[in-house]
Amino acid sequence: MTDPIADYLTRLRNAIKAQHRVVEIPASNLKKEITKILFEQGYILNYKFIEGENPAGTIKIALKYDPVNKVNAIKNLKRVSRPGLRQYTGYKDMPRVLNGLGIAILSTSKGVMTNKKASEEKVGGEVLCYVY
């Protein structure tokens, strides 16, 4: 597999489209950090890291739905930086997702963080994905 982050986002999109409650994804350190950010920002209900048969383990994610009209909290997941075309940004020209309503997840020298936190810490990096 050439792009594990795209696979992670696609598995989430497919589970949302099929209205699953839980999705299991092969784990890596970067995927674990992205999952933590999605939980902190309120896009997923809960997550659990399971040590299993593969060396890195598995991530079990409980998706968040509105109880009244069954709409998912995640409207769109978009991969920005790809292995063939990396997208970097400085802290001065940080991307705004949906005019500030969504988040961009960045991989910086200080770890994986959202665009808002990266602006506060004045650090740029590779834009991994947009979530809204």
Task: Answer yes or no: do 59 and 85 share one domain.
Answer: no
- Residue 68 resides in a domain: no
Tell me, what amino acid is at 49? F
Q: What is the pLDDT of residues 43-91, one digit of tens each?
A: 999 999 999 777 889 999 999 999 899 899 999 999 999 999 999 999 9
Residues 55 and 16 in one domain: yes
Asked whether residue 82 falls in the same domain as residue 55, the answer is: no
* CATH code at position 97: 3.30.1490.10
> How many CB atoms are closer than 10 A to CB 4?
15
Q: Are 113 and 37 in contact (CB under 8 A)?
A: yes
What DSSP state is assigned to residue 64?
A: P
- With respect to residue 55, please indicate whether it lies within any of the assigned structural domains: yes
Q: Do 64 and 45 touch, CB atoms closer than 8 A? A: yes
Question: What is the CATH number for 31?
Answer: 3.30.1370.30
* 114-126 residue pLDDT tens: 999 999 999 999 9
72 found inside a domain: no
What's the confidence (pLDDT) of residue 127? 97
- Total domain count for the chain? 2
